[in-house]
Structure 1
Amino acid sequence: MLINAAHWLNLAVALGIGLLIGAERERSKANGGDSTIAGVRTFTIASLLGAVSTSINFWLLVVSIICVTIFVATAYFSRKDDDPGLTTEISLVFTVILGGLAMTTASMAASLAVAAAILLAAKQPIHGFVRGVVTKDEMIDFLILAAATLIVLPLVPNELIGPFDAINPRNLWLIVILVMFIGALGHLALRLLGSRTGLPLVGLVSGFISSIATIGAMGERVKKTPGLMGTAVAGATLSSLSTMLQLAMLLTAIHPLTLHALRVPLLFGGLSIAAYGLVVTLNSFHHHTPELSKPSRSFSVKTAMTLALVIAVVLVASAALKAWFGQAGLVVASGVAGLADVHASAISAASLASTIKVTPANAAVAILVAITTNAISKVITALVTGGKVFFQKVALGLVLQICLMWIGWWLF
């Protein structure tokens, strides 16, 4: 068998893999954290065994893996530990496989070896995080999000169905995943940064889920504790900034040309509400911020599914009104839907633009109308939940935002 320079390099990678994983296991054994059956020499020889076996014959590699598995199984059952664990045994078999992989795909084998070494070395932080930091509800939410992304999404058809061919099930399910993912990010921010950083941060994070709901929650807090007026207004205002950011992300994923048509209005609206929110936040720093209870769930599946259902209805209604009345029908449908949720109108308009049923400019107008009617709902919510003073402060920021957005559209 002719051994060239490439084979020597692959053998060196296999040697490095065994040394890397073996060194971590040896250190774990030395620290008393794990009474392992193998150390650095055993892991290095195991990796080289896989590499040499692969170089000679693939079936020899299979025999080597089987033999090593039998050896580690025998060693495992002969141990007297109360809780011996299987980490080292599985790692040893995995090292043989990585050694064989190094002879064909050295870069992948090296990457997997580094990942395995990191997982082995991070035993305490990982166990502490899973057992002491992550709650049962959060773990359930993570599994739901993982199932929705990795199991359900590949099964959802990617084609237009329904009346007027207005609904793409895959796009709707992507929206469900996106809403849950954004909610999880917001929940993570609250867990990491803490609730005592203030209502402005909570409002900014919660705004990604529902700005109207956030304003209602801030209004309820002001009604119970009038001394929190400044921080509550800041949180309510910054939730509208989250709406702008979320719209930009959604349009980027669905139809970038529609986002390009709206770039100036969204920039004007985002900067204006951010500036207003910053001023209100700075003025509220002298107020005491109460400790907020930690949310038990990362996101609401019901909210995500409801939004998808609303989007589906709006898609059909928009397509029907567009077919019957042209551009005027799309604007009316977007305005009505915007009273409840601006994202549904934006997604439906951008989806129609992506299928070339309307132009990006027409979709942009419909989205601006939806944002305007959604602001009306926010103002009404502020008045009902927080009273006159809260309503006036929140309405001032929203009026400034909407005016500048339309000015940006008319000018550019």
Structure 2
Amino acid sequence: MLAAEITLPVAVGALSGALLIGLLVGVQRESSGAHPGLRDFLLISLAGGISGLLDNAWLGGAALLSITALLALFRFEERKEGSGVTTDLAGVATFVLAYLAASRQLDFAAPLAIGITIVVAIFLEAKQRLHSLVREQITEAEFNGTLAFVAFVLVVYPLLPRGSYGPFSFFQPRQVWLFVILILSLSYVGFFLEKFLGEEEGLFYTSVLGGLTSTTAATLHFARVSKERPEETFGLWRAFVVANTVQFPRTLLIVALVHRELALACVWPLAAMTLCGVILAEILRRWPHERVSGLKMTAGNPFRLGPALRFGALFTAVVFLTKAATAKLGTEAFYGTSLFGGLVDVATVVAPAADFLRSQEIPVQTAEIAVLLALVSNAALKIVLAAMTGTVSFTLRITATFALWAGAAAATWWIGFRV
């Protein structure tokens, strides 16, 4: 910013934002008994604010170097106390953030800098909790799994080639990887949701985890437990309702990420099923029943490569069958492949449906029916698995629940079709 452009209101606003940053960090450091304290951080932020306001790279660099040297000298003199460098790093961060807030290089520079400062202050305040989290609550397997997940998302995906390959252009590496990442992300969130909340809140969060990861696996798990502990069938039914209710907004989220028009078409049936599930789950929660225990579903690692690769392979197979059958037999075959895809995961039907919509091979209504058919076949599979592994009572209850959901979806779809 040129000196001629700096008016008094601009200068006051810029330096006020910079001083606010110093105040936020300084108060936190002062309350923790650290040195430098509040006054030092206010001076550091003022130096950063003036440097940013004048927008002189040499001045800013010299000021930052001087402050860093002074902090290092202070730390060297205080080295006998065995204190860490957190406060020194906070001082450097304060200067940089104050510089950013006052520089006005971005329209949102000041709010961004203040927002980052708030996050920094929270981290500084939560030092002991963070240490406890890393040292006592996060296992080595979970940390390694997190690193693998980050690499899976940020390293592998950019290296994949763009475009379509193979017969009927069925194989799109980035599309397959993107869906795998999406499913893994939901599983990752669900893992830590149960880890930190599941034991305290019990069945509800365990059921939500099942809805985020795999409703088929969750239903199978609940069915097996009903066989072992039939007296808990009612509570297991509620767990099933919660897990499968989560599936509907999860499906809508996946659809919305790949095709907005299809998501708008699916929103009412999925919303109706979600509403029915929420109401039923609340009724069952209030109904007296035997408490369910021992349903923890985490596997010790938030990232498991085997299931992820299997999902990617099955996803690719469903896309190939869908495109091949549709090309050879017409759009009517799309309904059949959608039923098959639902046996794997409803998400496997979404990608080919979106591709057909973009190429205008099918209307939106056909794609909507395909998604609903995938949900139907997925429900049928769960009923069969429950009948094979669970009690008759549990199987009848989930069958009635699926009938309720199907009725709600059919009624909503019919009303929308008529309108």
TM-score after normalising by structure 1: 0.86
**Matching residue's letter, 2:187:** G
Equivalent residue runs for 1:339-354 within 5 Å: 339-354=343-358
Q: 1:385 to 1:196 in 2, by over 3 A?
A: farther
Contact 2:252/2:266, CA 8 A, preserved across alignment: no
Amino acid at match of 2:226: V
1:244 and 1:142 map into 2 onto residues whose CA distance is: 27
Could you tell me which of 291, 314, 334 is aligned with 1:330? 334
- How far, CA to CA, are the matches of 1:91 and 1:198 in structure 2? 39
Distance 1:329 1:229, change over 3 A: same
**Equivalent in the alignment of 2:239:** 235
Please tell me whether the aligned partners of residues 196 and 291 of structure 1 are also in contact (alpha carbons under 8 angstroms). no
1:143 pairs, out of 123, 142, 147, with 147
Distance 2:242 2:120 in 1: 42
Which residue identity is paired with 1:223? K
Per-residue CA deviation, residues 331-377 of structure 1 (Å, 9 max, x unaligned), is 12111222232221233323432443322111122222222222221
TM-superposed CA distance for 1:78, in Å, is 3.6
Residues 186-230 of structure 1 show CA distances to partners (whole Å, capped at 9, x for unaligned) of 233323443465545533430221122111111111111121111
Q: How many residues align?
A: 405
Match of 2:42 among 31, 40, 44: 44
Which of residues 382, 390, 401 in structure 2 aligns to 1:397?
401
Q: What is the CA–CA distance in structure 2 between the aligned matches of 1:383 and 1:95, rounded to whole Å?
A: 62
1:9-48 matches, within 5 Å, as 9-29=13-33, 34=34, 36=35, 38-48=36-46
Q: 1:177 & 1:42 partners in 2: Cα distance? A: 45
State the 1:175 CA deviation.
Answer: 1.8
> Which of the numbers 230, 239, 252 marks the counterpart of 1:248?
252
Name 1:131's counterpart in structure 2. 135
Aligned-partner Cα distance in 1 for 2:171–2:361: 13
Indicate yes or no: 2:88 matched with 1:89.
Answer: yes
Q: Which moved more, 1:144-153 or 1:244-253?
A: 144-153
Distance (Å, rounded) in 2 between the aligned partners of 1:99 and 1:239: 47
- The alpha carbon displacement at 1:382 in A equals 0.4
Distance in 1, matches of 2:204 and 2:234, equals: 9
Residue 404 of structure 1: how far off its partner (Å): 4.1
Q: Any stretches of 5+ residues in structure 2 without a counterpart? A: none
SS at match of 2:182: helix
Mapped to 2, the partners of 1:354 and 1:64 lie a distance apart of 55
* Contact 1:219–1:386 (Cα < 8 Å) also in 2: yes
Pick aligned residue for 1:185 from 183, 189, 196:
189
Matched, 1:303 2:307: yes
1:318 aligns with 2:343: no
Q: 1:366 aligns with which of 355, 363, 370?
A: 370
1:83-113 per-residue CA deviation (whole Å, 9 max, x = no partner) reads 4211122222233333433431350443333
Question: Offset at 1:381?
Answer: 0.2
In structure 2, relative to structure 1, the CA distance for the partners of 1:16 and 1:287 (3 Å cut) is: closer
Q: Decide which moves more: 116-125 or 83-92.
A: 116-125
Secondary structure at 2:95 match in 1: helix
Q: Deviations over 1:218-274 (max 9, x none)?
A: 111111112111112222233322222211111111112223333343344334444
Distance 1:17 1:196 in 2: 37
**Unpaired segments of 5 or more residues in structure 1?**
none
Using structure 2 for the length normalisation, give the TM-score: 0.85
Moved more, 324-333 or 6-15: 6-15
Check whether the contact 2:265–2:368 (CA below 8 A) recurs between aligned residues.
yes
Aligned mate of 2:292, from 286, 289, 293: 289
Shift of 1:281: 4.5
- Identity across aligned pairs (percent)? 27
Quick one: distance in 1 between partners of 2:236 and 2:55?
71
Q: Which amino acid aligns with 1:325?
A: L
The answer to whether the Cα contact below 8 Å between 1:53 and 1:100 also exists between their aligned partners in 2 is: yes
Output the amino acid matched with 2:145. Answer: D
Tell me how large the CA RMSD over aligned residues is: 2.8
Q: Which 10-residue stretch deviates more, 72-81 or 58-67? A: 72-81
Give SS of 1:160's match. coil
